[in-house]
Amino acid sequence: MAGNGTDTGISLSRALLGALFVGAGALHFYAPGAYERIMPPYLPLHRELVLLSGALEILGGLGMLTERTRPAAGVGLVLLLLAVWPANLQMLLDARAADKPSWWLALLWARLPLQLLLMAWVWRASRPRA
């Protein structure tokens, strides 16, 4: 039913996700070095993968904004979040090796399960409502 409070909340959720991913993707082009530094060493082509993931984040974020592209964007963003999870883990491992402060390590530890919550949010927001 159009116009009820639930639809407004869903629309806001989708708009927030869209903006989040477009902004995060743009940062990959603005500061690629920051992302390259957290790439696991076993992956090749760090710069290219950073730029690709940034482009996919932008496309996925934009895709969340229209009904026609939203389901595919949701699948793509969940897969992308799975694909970049090793970089988040690498960031934690590097911080531990560099003996970073415990508060920073706690934030990086918290980021790992938060990625799962972000995946759930994307999935829920991208599915058609009955």
Residue 129 pLDDT class (50, 70, 90 cuts):
confident
Q: How far is the C-alpha of 93 from the C-alpha of 107, rounded, in Å? A: 13
Q: What is the pLDDT of residues 26-56, one digit of tens each?
A: 999 999 999 999 999 999 999 999 999 999 9
pLDDT exceeds cutoff 70 at 87: yes
Residue 98 pLDDT class (50, 70, 90 cuts):
very high
**Which structure tokens are listed for 113?**
């399960």
Percent of the chain, pLDDT > 70? 92
Instruction: Quote the DSSP letter at residue 90.
Output: H
pLDDT exceeds cutoff 60 at 2: no
Dmax of the chain from CA atoms?
54
Q: How far is the C-alpha of 49 from the C-alpha of 54, rounded, in Å? A: 8
Number of Cα atoms under 13 Å in the Cβ half of residue 59: 13
Domain ranges (residues) in the chain: 5-125
**Which structure tokens are listed for 112?**
């790992």
pLDDT exceeds cutoff 70 at 1: no
Question: What are the E-state strand segments in 9-127?
Answer: none
pLDDT exceeds cutoff 80 at 14: yes
CA torsion angle 71 75 81 86 (round to 10): 180
Q: What is the pLDDT of residues 50-83, one digit of tens each?
A: 999 999 999 999 999 999 999 999 999 999 999 9
